[in-house]
Amino acid sequence: GSGTSQLAKMTIIQRMLAQRSGPFDMCVRFAVLEFQDKFHDSIAQLLHTFPLDHKTSEGTLFWSGPKRPPQPLMFDANDEVHVEFVVACANLYAANLGLAQNSDRAAIAGMAGRVELAPFQPKEVKIKVDDKDTTVEGCMDDEARAKQSIAELSELSKSLPSNTPVEPAEFEKDDDTNFHIAFIAAAANLRARNYKIPEADFHKVKMTAGKIIPAIATTTAMVTGLVGCELLKVATLSSRKVEDFKNAFVTLALPLWVMSEPLPPLQTRSKEYDPIIMGPVRAKPEGFTSWTKIEVNKGDITLREFVDYLQDEEGVEVMIMSAGNACLYNAYLPAHKKRLGERVSKLWEDITKQKLSPKKTYLTIEVSASDPDDGVDIQIPTIKFQFR
């Protein structure tokens, strides 16, 4: 995961290992901190990154349509659902640490009310706006902090006694005394409250959780087996044809199993008249598919060198070039001429306001092009631009 998600996990592990020998109120403190992180700080951070009046690149309000703006929840020891979460979460921590359970709601509420919470400090975090967004999520500073936390955990493990292991919890929905369903119900209702969604009672949550278990055990196992069969064909067949593989349509409730041959990938072909372009379009190469890629391995060249390379090697004149949501170049805009001297990687960083990960070695680039001789629009495959 990202540095931010790694840091969150490392912080929880470090907290449990360093303080696991205390009384039950230590577990209550862990639970309140968990509440603060999941239902207040993360929501406050989201609203800091995307305020209520934030607009998308298209000029529409970000919080509109199906997107509901959430509201952070301040912990209140007098709120029944807040206390239910802390009781369940604290007892789960206690089970992990080998401590005795505590079901005294009044006592736990009193302990929780005495926990001091640090004020929220916003960070500059990158968050994806939709599934197509190529943004690398997380806070840049958290990468270094996660590495530091891993080093601290390594040192901490050397000083821990070996006779007090941390015990994992195996989910069991039918035992109401283990606080598993109680935790799920409280957490679900608090998240629902964040987004002003109607809450559910304990029994409804238990029924819903009960339906999830067989779905995970059967459907996932079946899909994994079917995918494994197709993967074996990829690994073992020296010459592969489309008809060697199979699609599967399965309904376990009937049960119905239907196997079929997959269709070959759609080919892009030249057209005398395209209704969208309203003119002729040429495919180059003729009949290319989504699996076809143009690989450019010239190092971190400038945009001008990249454009010239495509004209010399592919015989196309670049009109528009984009990488994900970032428009790197538009030949119709005079202001973009000054971008030609920039290196492609730096140009991407400047436009997206993001740093390229050291592990990132290439950019996926789409190009709208035309024939330099007669100006006819040309469609070419996706370009894999290898800059490292």
CA 242 to CA 250: how far, in whole Å? 21
**Residues facing residue 344 across a β-bridge:** none
Q: Taking residues 254-275, what's their average pLDDT?
A: 88
- What backbone torsions phi and psi does residue 236 show, to the nearest 5 degrees? -110, -25
3-state helix, strand, coil in the chain (%, to 5): 45, 15, 40
For residue 203, the Cα-to-chain-centroid distance in whole angstroms is 31
**Residues 6+ positions from 163 with CB-CB distance below 8 Å:** none
Q: How many CB atoms lie within 10 A of CB 99?
A: 18
What is the pLDDT averaged over residues 236-250? 88
Single pTM value for the model: 0.54
CA 309 to chain CA centroid, Å, is 35
| CB contact at 8 A, 66 and 164 | no
Containing H/E element for 48?
Answer: helix 42-49
Mean pLDDT of 180-186: 95
Asked if 73 and 37 count as a contact pair (C-beta separation under 8 A), the reply is no
Contact 125, 4 (CB under 8 A): yes
pLDDT digit string (tens) for 316-370?
A: 898 999 988 889 999 888 889 889 999 989 998 888 888 888 888 999 999 999 9
Burial class (CB in 10 A: 0-12, 13-18, 19+), 374: exposed
* For range 30-56, the mean pLDDT: 91
- Could you tell me the two tokens for 47? 């609203």
Q: Which helix (H) or strand (E) holds 231?
A: helix 221-236
**Is the Cβ–Cβ distance between 146 and 10 less than 8 Å?**
yes
Q: What is the pLDDT of residue 156?
A: 47
Terminal alpha carbon distance of the chain: 22
Assigned token pair, 99: 């401590």
Tell me what the pLDDT averaged over the chain comes to.
83
pLDDT tier at 159, thresholds 50, 70, 90: low
Q: Which two tokens stand for residue 360?
A: 């990132």
Residue 202 has a pLDDT of 92
Higher pLDDT, residue 25 or 385: 385
pLDDT in tens, 60-116: 888 988 888 999 999 999 999 999 999 999 999 888 888 889 999 999 999 999 999
Q: How confident is the model at residue 7 (pLDDT cuts 50, 70, 90)?
A: low
- Using pLDDT thresholds of 50, 70 and 90, give the confidence band for residue 164: low
Closest of 175, 158, 26 to residue 97, by C-alpha: 26
Q: What is the pLDDT of residues 216-230, one digit of tens each?
A: 677 888 889 999 999
Mean local confidence (pLDDT), 195-208: 92
pLDDT winner (highest mean) among 37-46, 268-277, 367-376: 37-46
pLDDT at 353: 86
Inter-residue long-range contacts of 331-334, CB under 8 Å, 24+ positions, other chains counted: none
